[in-house]
Structure 1
Amino acid sequence: MLKKLRLKFSTLFGLSLLVLSVWAIAKELHEYNYRDILNSLAAIPKSRLSWAVWLTALGYLVMVGYDILGFSYINRSLSWNKIALTSFISSAFSNTIGFALLTGSAIRYRFYSSWGVSAGAIAQVIAFANFTFWLGMFAVAGLLFIINPLKIPTQLHLPFATVRPIGVIFLLLVATYLLGSIFIQQPLIIRGQEFRFPTLKISLAQIAISSFDWILAAAVLYVVLPTNISLSYLDFLGIYLLAMFAGVVSNVPGGLGVFETIILLILSDKVSAAAVLGSMLVYRGIYYFLPLLLAAGLLGIYEIKFRIGNFQK
C-alpha cells in the first residue's frame, strides 16, 4: 500500500513539474510578441548566439560539480551519469522556476532515493549544493566589489553608495567558512541540525566550481549584449552579480523583473533600454528555457520508464 502511494506521489510530482515548466515558459513569452523575439534574435550575430549556447552548455556541466562534491563530502559514491542527470534536471528547473529549495531539492529526492540513497544523505547533498552556490557568488562578487566598486542606483534605496561594503561582507563570510574548514573539526549543531565543515580541499573546490559557474553565466549574457556597448567583461560581471544577487534573494522565478530592472538602471546611460531588453530576452531563452525544455523532456522520459518498470514488477 505504502509503495503504491509513493509511486502515485512520484508520478504526480513528475507530471506537476512538467506542467509548472510549461507555465513558466508561457508566462515569460506572454510578455513579448513574436516581433520582439524575432527582432532581438536578428540583431545579434549568429556567432554570438553560438557562443552563448556553448557557454550555457559548459555552465550546466560545471553545475554537476556541485553534486559530485556533495557526494564526496558525505563519503558516498554514485555513478557520475546518474549524478549528472539529476544535477542537470534539478538545476534547469530551479534556475528557471525559482524556489530552489522546493524544486531542485524535490527532484534530487526523487532521483537519488530511487537509486538507494538515504533521505539523510540526500538532505546533506542538497544543503551542500545550495551552500556551494552562494560561496561562489560571495567569492567572485566580494573581490570585484572591492577592486572595482560599482555605484548602486539610487532607485534601489540601499544604505551604501557603492557595492564595496557588500564586497567586504561577502569576503568575510568566505574567509569565515575557510577558517572553519581548517580549525573546526567537531560537528556544529544549528537549530537541531548537525553541520560539519568539509575539508579545506573540498571547501576550495566548492569556491572554484561555483565561481566558474557564475563567471560562465554572466558571459552568456555578455556575448549577446549589443556590440556597440562600451563595457568590459569584468565591469559587466559586477553588474550581473549585483542584479542576480537581488533576483535570487527575491526568490522570484529566475529573478524575473528584479534582475532586468537593475541591469537596465545601470546600463541605461550606455545603450538603449530596448536593445538591453532584447539581449536579456535572448539570454533567458538560451540560458533558462532551452535547458528547461531539455530537462522537462528528460524528466518525462524518466517518469515513463519508471512507471513502466514498476508496472512490470
Structure 2
Amino acid sequence: MRTLWGWTRKAFPWLLAVLVLALVARQARAVEWVEVWAAVQAIPARQLVLATSLAALSYTLYASFDLIGRHLTRARISAGRSLGTAAISYAFNLNFGSLVGGMAMRLRLYTRWGLSAPTVAKVIAYSMVTNWLGYSWVAGAVLLWAPPRLTESWVSSDLLLLQTLGLAMILLTVVYVALCFFSRRRQLSWREHRLELASGPLALLQAALGGTSWLLIGAIVWSVFAGRIDYLDVLGALLLAAVAGVLTHVPAGLGVLEAVFAASLGDLLPVAEVLAVVLVYRAIYYLLPLCFALPAYGLSEAAARRRRRTRPQDGAPA
C-alpha cells in the first residue's frame, strides 16, 4: 500500500500536467489567431500605459518580499541591492521558471554580495511564504464569494466544494498568523533546515503584502480588459491559471495561462478578445521586465568581474 501511495503521489502531478496540456492543445486548434491579432491592435494605448504602470508597481511590491527575509535573517546587504536582486530574479522566474529565476538567479546574485547560500535559501523561503500566504487568503475569498466560472468544455465544479476549499484557504492564513502571534516555539524545523518564525505583526504584514500583490496583478489584466469584465471574474481566472502553471511546470505558463483564461472568461467575451488581453498582459508583465532584467544582469556580471580583478590577492598589500 505504501509503495502504491508513493507511486500515485509521484505520478499525479504528471497526469494532471498531461490533462491540462491536452486541453491547451485543443483550445489552440480552435482559435482564429488572425482575429486575436486584430483584437490586440484594437486595445487603446491608454490601457497599455495604465497596465504598464501597474506592472512596475507590482514588481516593486513583489521585490519587497525579500526585505522581510533580509530582516529576519539579519542579512548584511542594503535594501536597494536586495530590491534589485529580487526584481531581476522575478523577471527570470516568470519567463524561465522558479528553478532558474526564483532560486538559481537569486543564489548567484546574493552570494556575490557576500551572503551565504543558507542565508539566501532562507530569504527565498520567506519570500515564497509571503507570496503564497497572500495567494491563500485572496484565492480563498474569491472561492468563497465569487468562484471562477468554467465553460462546459472543462470539468464543472461543485459550488459547495469550491466554497469549502476557499474557507479552508482563509483558515490556513489565519492559522499561520495565529502561530506567529502565540507560538512559544519560534523556529520551524524540517529535516536539517530551520526557519525563524516571524513576529505576529510581521506575519500580518506578510499576508497584507502577499495579498496586495495578487490583487494588483489581477488589476493589471483587468485594466487591459478596460472594464468589460468584472474584476472578480478576472482575478478568479488569474488565480486559477497561477496554480495550473505551477502544476504543469511549463516555463512562463506558456499556453496554460491562455487556455485557463479562455475557459474561464470565454462565455463573457469572444475568445479572440480574451486571448488578445492575455497576450498583451504577457508582453507587459513577462517580456517587458525581462528586457530590463537581462541587461541589468549583464551589468551585474561585468561589475563582479571588475571586483575580482581589483580585489587584492592573499598576501599582497591592500
Whether the TM-score (by the shorter chain) exceeds 0.5 is yes
Give the distance between the partners of 1:293 and 1:242, measured in 2 at CA.
Answer: 27
Task: Name the counterpart of 2:177.
Answer: 178
Give the distance between the partners of 1:158 and 1:179, measured in 2 at CA.
Answer: 35
User: Structure 2: any 5+ residue segments left out of the alignment?
Assistant: 1-28, 312-318
Q: CA deviation at 1:35?
A: 7.1
Give the distance between the partners of 1:37 and 1:295, measured in 2 at CA.
Answer: 28
2:242 maps to 1:222 = no
Q: CA deviation at 1:178?
A: 1.2
Q: Which has the larger radius of gyration?
A: 2
8 Å CA contact retained: 1:185, 1:196 = no
Q: CA deviation at 1:209?
A: 0.9
Give the distance between the partners of 1:298 and 1:35, measured in 2 at CA.
Answer: 35
8 Å CA contact retained: 2:140, 2:168 = yes
Task: Name the counterpart of 1:107.
Answer: 105
Give the distance between the partners of 2:154 and 2:210, measured in 1 at CA.
Answer: 27
2:211 maps to 1:211 = yes
Task: Write the letter of the residue equivalent to 2:308.
Answer: N
Q: CA deviation at 1:245?
A: 2.1
SS of aligned partner of 2:194 = strand
2:101 maps to 1:76 = no
Task: Name the counterpart of 2:61.
Answer: 62
Task: Name the counterpart of 1:116.
Answer: 114
Task: Name the counterpart of 2:133.
Answer: 135
Q: CA deviation at 1:57?
A: 0.3
Relative to the length of structure 2, the TM-score reads 0.80
Give the distance between the partners of 1:169 and 1:154, measured in 2 at CA.
Answer: 26
Q: CA deviation at 1:66?
A: 0.5
Relative to the length of structure 1, the TM-score reads 0.82
Aligned length: 280
Identity %: 33
Give the distance between the partners of 2:270 and 2:39, measured in 1 at CA.
Answer: 13
Query: Which range moves more in the overlay, 129-138 or 244-253?
Result: 244-253
8 Å CA contact retained: 1:70, 1:124 = yes
Give the distance between the partners of 2:232 and 2:156, measured in 1 at CA.
Answer: 23
Judging changes above 3 Å, is the alpha-carbon distance between structure 1 residues 36 and 309 closer, same or farther for their aligned structure 2 residues? farther
8 Å CA contact retained: 1:188, 1:194 = yes
2:89 maps to 1:90 = yes
Give the distance between the partners of 2:220 and 2:42, measured in 1 at CA.
Answer: 16
Give the distance between the partners of 2:268 and 2:117, measured in 1 at CA.
Answer: 50
Task: Name the counterpart of 1:239.
Answer: 237
2:282 maps to 1:284 = yes
Judging changes above 3 Å, is the alpha-carbon distance between structure 1 residues 60 and 36 closer, same or farther for their aligned structure 2 residues? farther
8 Å CA contact retained: 1:40, 1:282 = no
SS of aligned partner of 2:198 = coil
Deviations 1:154-211 (A, max 9, x none): 6554764463232122112212211211222322322332233211111111111111
Judging changes above 3 Å, is the alpha-carbon distance between structure 1 residues 38 and 212 closer, same or farther for their aligned structure 2 residues? same
8 Å CA contact retained: 1:185, 1:197 = no
Query: Which range moves more in the overlay, 56-65 or 142-151?
Result: 142-151
Give the distance between the partners of 2:71 and 2:253, measured in 1 at CA.
Answer: 31
8 Å CA contact retained: 1:151, 1:163 = no
8 Å CA contact retained: 2:136, 2:172 = yes
8 Å CA contact retained: 2:151, 2:266 = no
Judging changes above 3 Å, is the alpha-carbon distance between structure 1 residues 205 and 163 closer, same or farther for their aligned structure 2 residues? same
Deviations 1:217-251 (A, max 9, x none): 111111112x583x221232122212222223322
SS of aligned partner of 1:163 = helix
8 Å CA contact retained: 1:93, 1:104 = yes
Task: Name the counterpart of 1:264.
Answer: 262
Task: Name the counterpart of 1:125.
Answer: 123
2:166 maps to 1:167 = yes
8 Å CA contact retained: 1:248, 1:254 = no
SS of aligned partner of 1:111 = helix
Deviations 1:4-40 (A, max 9, x none): xxxxxxxxxxxxxxxxxxxxxxxxxxx99x9788634
C-alpha RMSD of the superposition: 2.5
Give the distance between the partners of 1:185 and 1:71, measured in 2 at CA.
Answer: 23
Q: CA deviation at 1:119?
A: 1.9
Give the distance between the partners of 1:52 and 1:96, measured in 2 at CA.
Answer: 18
Task: Name the counterpart of 2:18.
Answer: none
Q: CA deviation at 1:295?
A: 0.3
Task: Name the counterpart of 1:297.
Answer: 295
Task: Write the letter of the residue equivalent to 2:267.
Answer: D
Give the distance between the partners of 2:200 and 2:182, measured in 1 at CA.
Answer: 10
